[in-house]
Amino acid sequence: MTRIIGERVTLRGFRSDEIDGLLSISEGWPDDDGIHWGSRDRDELRRKVEASGTWTDVAALDMAIEADGRLVGEIQARQPRGGLPPGVFELGIEIFASTDRGTGLGGAALRSMVSHLFEEEQAHRVQLSTDVDNEGMRRCAESVGFTYEGVNRSFMPTANGPRDYAMFGMTRGDFEEVRARWI
């Protein structure tokens, strides 16, 4: 099982005793896109938790983000066969509580996962996208060293119609340049 220890966070598999908490985390959130924890049934979530911390058969690495002994979010690396070229990975990240957003935990988790992908998984490109209106995530991505590459129009389906998403990328060359300032 993969465990990545970073400067402020540890990325690890989810534990089975975290399922109830994961289900309750998003109870008050709007569920426009249908992908939040609260929209998952218990069996689906249990399968996801059991597979977390290892690469799954659908080429995803789901990890819990832990800070100061608390579960604060999740991060996922994806490299779907036939969906992305070899060596290209896509990231998804969510910091659960608004009180933990903007504190640097998301950036610390991104730096840890990006380092793992370039150093251990032979990545030559890592990318992520976020809603064009998610200014916090956009600032976080750029502060880590991702480059804004443009907008994927009508990318994310929601109950209110498709949303545009901003795309960010980091190449191996970018990583070599930015990791020196992470230390």
User: What confidence tens digit (pLDDT) does each residue in 99-153 have?
Assistant: 999 999 999 999 999 999 999 999 999 999 999 999 999 999 999 999 999 999 9
With CA atoms as reference, report the closest residue to 145 among 103, 105, 173.
173
Task: Point out which residues pair with 127 in neighbouring strands.
Answer: 90, 169
Can you tell me the distance from the alpha carbon of 141 to that of 109, in angstroms, rounded to the nearest whole number? 11
**Rounded to two decimals, what is the model's pTM?**
0.90
Answer yes or no: is pLDDT of 40 > 80.
no
Mean pLDDT along residues 45-49: 84
Which positions ≥6 away from 167 have C-beta within 8 Å? 127, 128, 129, 148, 149, 150, 151, 152
Cα 148 to Cα 72, 126, 133, 161: the distances in Å are 26, 12, 14, 24
Answer yes or no: is pLDDT of 30 > 60.
no
Q: How confident is the model at residue 29 (pLDDT cuts 50, 70, 90)?
A: very low
* Cβ(27)–Cβ(88) below 8 Å: no
Answer yes or no: is pLDDT of 33 > 50.
no
Torsion from C-alpha of 14, 104, 138, 170, nearest 10 degrees? -70
